[in-house]
């Protein structure tokens, strides 16, 4: 059934069209609305034209559809055509989309730091001059948000999908988040304002189990769908439970957004299942009320004549329109067809938008001063400009973790330096979850392994290095610092050299042992041997002590010299001072070869012999 309407008018730019032949306007949630308008040539300015002419000026202009002089649709003209057929002068075809089409930019990349998704959506709508009604359920700041190879509109749709936010264009404004204000439901009745009505149920509920990982807290999280008919009316609740009974094992999936806590994951799973099953109970109908639009709440009634003189009427409930097609024709013709779901739903059906898949790409390190001290870095990818960079991302290494004896930093700890070029990977291909796969040399930083790739090395920013040389003529390993101190293992000559510009200190808790064939200790100044207890020096054959000037030997108690033979040669004087001197031998010879011999004592000199005493 179609009911004549006289209140639909159209304006393009500042021009109100005097008439129209036909208008078709398709509206749906989570997508652009589109329209097709047909007008006479006279409405375009001139009947006698051979080309599009001045109608081309409508391209890019705003278009407004009025109902009783109230704007019910704001769009933009994207296509103008002159159509002729037979002997007719022809007519002008105009088509385009809702005002949200200004957000249908070329696919591009952008990023934000420490902002809630609502602020990001507000910024994008402001740039496109799209009116916005904003009330997101998820209000927390996100440390990193990334638009990746997406138009602005697809990016907003993807945010709605990830965070299960309401998102639709109501004809004049983009709605993001469940609207705060709700107008009174429009009452529609089958048999009067509804010419057709279809009520449907479908099985959409499926058991799922979502997992995620939060690296900062090292916490794995796992949560099943609640499998409760939140927001469903009685009919959809039955279909919900029937659908769950069809399936056994729950499907395992990773969480689309980055989840920080268990409570966030529980809320996410509730909203996700609500969105997935929002169309379990639906109605489709045809009406002649032009004010209906996506997001309108309608109160449906069913009535029919049960018997003569007795009309029965029953309320079907309140429904929110998710799809509607308006048709306007000549002769004041108007009708619409719409689809609606119970207004009690907690979430609208999620937008059908693909998740972007990020490929590996290069980036430059902008900071490694991780405020949490976890060895993370911030990087700027090649497409990021100005102040754009990632949040704090982890660095992949050949071995990392902890053990019973090592609580942190077990493994390889090599954090890239600021300015280093690195390669990024992305968990689940999500552009919002980058990590550093490794570092890259380039034409200004790399020298390679030299001739025959013989040199491998690890070198820090100050010049400390470990070098492994595989050359046959210089085979070896060198550990060195930037001051000239080094340890060189010369595999070519089977030797090791340790060099210090100043001091070398060896500390051993117990025993320090050196085994070698020959040992040389050379000092330009002094050699000190100091032991708190004993010092033992053992020689299998000869021991030679040579002193350039004086030799002093001191013992706090006893001094014992034991040898098979002892020869003492002194060039000048020989003085022995002691409180008592005793010398005992089988035979003693004292011989003064040149001068006199003096025996002197302040008291007696006693000479005693068991035999004779000879004085010559």
> Alpha-carbon distance 278 to 346, whole Å?
8
Listed residue (177, 239, 252) closest to 205, CA to CA = 239
> Alpha-carbon distance 27 to 294, whole Å?
6
For residue 243, is it left (φ>0), alpha (ψ between -120 and 50) or beta?
Answer: alpha
Which parts of the chain have pLDDT scores under 70?
1-6, 43-51, 86-89, 305-310, 616
Beta bridge partners of 35: 25, 96
> Alpha-carbon distance 301 to 189, whole Å?
5
Beta bridge partners of 497: 488
Listed residue (392, 368, 435) closest to 114, CA to CA = 392
**Strand 297-307 and strand 186-190: pairing?**
parallel
> Alpha-carbon distance 514 to 402, whole Å?
36
Listed residue (57, 36, 47, 45) closest to 90, CA to CA = 47
Listed residue (324, 337, 284, 293) closest to 2, CA to CA = 337
Residue 538 pLDDT:
87
Count of Cβ atoms closer than 10 Å to residue 255 Cβ: 20
CA 370 to chain centre: 14
| Chain segment 356-382, per-residue pLDDT in tens | 999 999 999 999 999 999 999 999 999
Q: How many residues does the chain have?
A: 616
Contact in structure between 417 and 349 (CB atoms under 8 Å): no
**Strand 310-329 and strand 219-224: pairing?**
unpaired
Task: Report if pTM > 0.95.
Answer: no
User: Among the residues of 16-170, which ranges form H helices?
Assistant: 117-128, 152-162
> Alpha-carbon distance 132 to 145, whole Å?
20
DSSP 583: -
Residue 616 pLDDT:
67
Contact in structure between 336 and 321 (CB atoms under 8 Å): no
The Cα-based distances of 596 to 60, 568, 608 in angstroms read 135, 21, 22
DSSP assignment string, 108-149: EEEEESSB-HHHHHHHHHHHHT--EEE--S----BS-EEEEE
DSSP 501: S
Contact in structure between 442 and 451 (CB atoms under 8 Å): no
Residue 44 pLDDT:
58
Beta bridge partners of 438: 423
> Alpha-carbon distance 117 to 100, whole Å?
18
Q: Which two tokens stand for residue 400?
A: 């990392």
């Amino acid at each position: 059934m179609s009911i004549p309407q006289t209140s639909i008018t159209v304006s393009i730019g500042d021009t109100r069209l005097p008439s129209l032949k036909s208008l078709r306007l398709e509206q749906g949630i989570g997508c652009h609305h589109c329209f097709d308008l047909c007008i006479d040539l006279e409405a375009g300015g001139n009947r006698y034209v051979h080309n599009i002419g001045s109608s081309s000026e409508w391209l890019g202009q705003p278009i407004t559809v009025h109902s009783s002089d109230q704007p019910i649709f704001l769009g933009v003209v994207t296509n103008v055509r002159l159509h002729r057929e037979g002997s007719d002068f022809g007519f002008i075809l105009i088509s385009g989309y809702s005002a949200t089409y200004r957000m249908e930019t070329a696919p591009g990349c952008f990023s934000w730091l420490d902002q809630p998704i609502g602020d990001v959506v507000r910024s994008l709508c402001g740039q496109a001059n799209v009116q916005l009604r904003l009330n997101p359920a998820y209000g927390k700041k996100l440390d990193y948000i990334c638009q990746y190879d997406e138009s602005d509109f697809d990016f907003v749709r993807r945010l709605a999908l990830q965070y299960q936010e309401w998102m639709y264009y109501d004809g004049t404004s983009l709605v993001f988040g469940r609207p705060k204000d709700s107008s009174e439901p429009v009452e529609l009745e089958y048999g009067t304002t509804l010419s057709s009505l279809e009520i449907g149920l479908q099985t959409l509920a499926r058991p799922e189990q979502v997992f995620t990982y939060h690296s900062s807290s090292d916490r794995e999280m796992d949560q099943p769908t609640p499998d409760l008919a939140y927001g469903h009316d009685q009919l959809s609740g039955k279909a919900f439970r029937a659908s769950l009974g069809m399936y056994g094992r729950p499907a395992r999936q990773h969480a689309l957004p980055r989840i920080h806590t268990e409570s966030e994951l529980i809320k996410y799973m509730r909203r996700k299942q609500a969105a997935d099953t929002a169309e379990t109970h639906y109605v489709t109908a045809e009406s002649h009320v032009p004010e209906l639009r996506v997001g309108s709440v309608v109160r449906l009634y069913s009535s029919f004549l049960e018997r003569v003189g007795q009309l029965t009427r029953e309320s079907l409930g309140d429904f929110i329109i998710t799809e509607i097609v308006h048709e306007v024709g000549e002769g004041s013709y108007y009708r619409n067809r719409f689809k609606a779901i119970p207004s009690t739903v907690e979430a609208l059906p999620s937008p059908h938008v693909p998740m972007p898949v990020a490929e590996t790409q290069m980036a430059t390190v902008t900071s490694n001063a991780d405020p949490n001290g976890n060895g993370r870095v911030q990087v700027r990818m090649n497409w990021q400009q100005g102040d754009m960079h990632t949040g704090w991302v982890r660095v992949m290494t050949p071995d990392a973790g902890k053990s019973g004896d090592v609580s942190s930093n077990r493994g390889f700890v090599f954090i890239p330096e600021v300015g280093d070029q690195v390669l990024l990977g992305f968990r689940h291909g999500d552009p919002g979850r980058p990590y550093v796969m490794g570092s890259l040399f380039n034409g200004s930083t790399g020298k390679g392994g030299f001739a025959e790739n013989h040199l491998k090395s690890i070198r820090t920013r100050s010049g400390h290095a470990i070098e492994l040389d595989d050359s046959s003529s210089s085979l070896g390993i060198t550990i060195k610092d930037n001051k000239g101190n080094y340890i060189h293992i010369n595999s070519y000559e089977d030797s090791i050299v340790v060099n210090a510009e100043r001091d070398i200190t060896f500390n051993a808790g117990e025993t320090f042992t050196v085994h070698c064939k020959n040992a040389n200790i050379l000092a330009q100044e002094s050699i000190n041997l100091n032991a708190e207890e004993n010092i033992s020096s053992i020689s299998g054959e000869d021991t030679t002590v040579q002193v350039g000037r004086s030799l002093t030997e001191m013992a706090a108690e006893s001094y014992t010299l034991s040898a098979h033979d002892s020869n003492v040669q002194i060039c000048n004087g020989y003085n022995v001072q002691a409180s008592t001197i005793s010398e005992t031998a089988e035979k003693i010879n004292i011989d003064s070869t040149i001068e006199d011999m003096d025996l002197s004592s302040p008291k007696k000199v006693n000479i005693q012999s068991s035999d004779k005493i000879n004085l010559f």
